[in-house]
Amino acid sequence: MTAQHYYGGIDVGSTTVKLVIMDDQHKTHFARYERHYSDVKAATEKIMKEAIAEIDSQTPISFTITGSGGIGLANLLELKFVQEVIACTKTVETLIPETNVAIELGGEDAKITFFGASLEQRMNGSCAGGTGAFIDQMATLLKTDANGLNELAKNSETIYPIASRCGVFAKTDVQPLINDGARKEDIAASIFQAVVNQTISGLAAGHKIKGNVAFLGGPLYFMDQLRVRFIDTLKLKPEQVIFPEDPQLFVAKGACLYAVDQPQTNLDELIDKLENGDDSGMHPSSSLEPLFNDDNELQEFRKRHAEAKVETRDLESYRGTAFLGIDAGSTTTKVALISDDNKLLYTYYDSNDGDPLEKTKQILRDMDSKMPEGITIGKTAVTGYGEHLIKNALQVDVGEVETVAHYRAAHYFDPEVDFILDIGGQDMKAMTIKNDALSTIKLNEACSSGCGSFLETFATSLKYNIRDFAQAALLARTPLIWAHGVPSS
């Protein structure tokens, strides 16, 4: 009787690690799909130890590794690395050869492969709009997760247009829908439709998607309503839809198929390398200089910048005329009340929770509860994304463009100011001043990588709140060199 041979594939994706162990008949004996939260070693060790419960730790297995984050792990485990698109193509050609087009969505990537006389593959670049990370980000706006979004979409009736090129800008479309009372079920389905539109228009780029279409990757496996939107948009007949077993593991299965000619090892040996091996290959080979060499330098920096503070006065003891400023930003609302000699009496800064008008009313009620008798608000001005909404709803005296408001404040504190850089929730502005007037203004357009909302979302993906995230960054010893779009926007 011929001895059974086992082949293992490890797929290290942008957000998850997948492990599959198959035999030479392509039967799966073990499979796991695990989020790694940027700790690939720990997640890989965890699923390998889980595999030992089902497969003897000394069983000979041939392995290869694939995935966008797999090269470092391959070096640590001394295993062959296979490019993920090649691995997935191998699985499709082996297990579902009738496929004409394969659509695969991952945590931060999207791919379309056209099969035929020649193979043609399309993949997203530096933007993760329209991927699993985009869906996660949109789900938080509806106070749910990706699975909750899928359940909501099952009862949708209306599809709204939502941008999917950038997750931050998509919030600009979603938040007004929430504010206007649109059904969450309809918003959920519209988010899935945005992913479909981004995939078809951004990747297919005019290449017609026809014939038998396979749906692969975690998002398309876990969210059947996302598949529904693709099927409906592409007008596929039931017999043209290919939804294979374990489509979220197809890349890892491809690694198994490529392991056929690889030397054998076993789970015990791999776990030992994870725990005791040289993991230098999993760390960046080059990095930026640290922002601060130690905490003393950081404290000196803070001390120096603390000298430039806005003067304040006690609100409770103040009497006279005060002036109110409201900044209704894309993701936050700021309020400042100043005295007649331009000193701060009251400030408030908070997320607008997707409802800038209600947040502004809440802040004003808080301010009013703390204001003593004898204070008169002489005039109120509003600026920011929500300028027109707040001005009309609350009968505010003055509405001002935010760039002008920025310059007015900057000029007050430094009459010789010649450059202003502003990073907001979903926008960035660089302003040049000449002859006491704004000369040039440059803003970001289709991408909001690097903005506040981007940073907050990325911090959350690493299980940080934004304040702790910032503190960790300030004292980082080896800051990474990344393209602006790598952490999903």
DSSP letter for each residue of 86-144: HHHHHHHHHH-TT-SEEEEE-SS-EEEEE-SSS-EEEE--S--TTSHHHHHHHHHHTTS
| The residue to which tokens 């086992």 are assigned | 6
Cα separation, 265 vs 64, in Å, equals 11
pLDDT tens, N- to C-terminus, the chain (489 residues): 456 899 999 999 888 999 999 999 999 999 999 988 888 999 999 999 999 999 999 999 999 999 988 999 999 999 999 999 899 999 999 999 999 999 999 877 888 999 988 888 888 765 666 677 788 878 877 888 999 999 999 999 999 988 766 665 677 678 778 767 789 999 999 999 999 988 888 888 778 999 999 999 999 999 999 999 999 999 999 999 999 999 999 999 999 999 999 999 999 999 999 999 888 777 666 778 899 988 899 999 999 988 888 899 999 999 999 999 999 987 789 999 999 999 999 999 998 877 889 999 999 999 999 999 999 999 999 999 889 999 999 999 999 999 999 999 999 999 999 999 998 877 788 999 999 889 999 987 666 667 887 787 778 767 788 889 988 889 888 887 765 444 443
Q: How far is C-alpha 45 from the chain's CA centre?
A: 26
6-90+253-282 carries CATH number 3.30.420.40: yes
Q: Find, among 366, 304, 305, 376, the residue nearest to 340 by Cα.
A: 376
Fold identical between 6-90+253-282 and 314-400? yes
Task: Name the phi and psi angles at 17, rounded to 5.
Answer: -120, 135
Residues in the chain: 489
Are 285 and 478 a contacting pair, CB within 8 Å?
Answer: no
Residue 412 contacts by C-beta under 8 Å, 6 or more apart in sequence?
342
Residue 305 contacts by C-beta under 8 Å, 6 or more apart in sequence?
none
The CATH architecture annotation of domain 314-400 reads 2-Layer Sandwich (3.30)
Angle of helix 167-179 versus helix 184-199 axis, rounded to 10: 150
At 326 the three-state DSSP class reads: strand
The strand ranges marked E within 318-435 are: 320-328, 332-338, 344-351, 375-383, 398-399, 419-423, 428-434
Structural domain boundaries of the chain? 6-90+253-282, 97-243, 314-400
Assessment of whether the complete model's pTM goes beyond 0.95: no
Residue 163 contacts by C-beta under 8 Å, 6 or more apart in sequence?
169, 170, 172, 173, 194
Q: Which fold has domain 97-243?
A: Nucleotidyltransferase; domain 5 (3.30.420)
CB atoms within 10 A of CB 366: 14
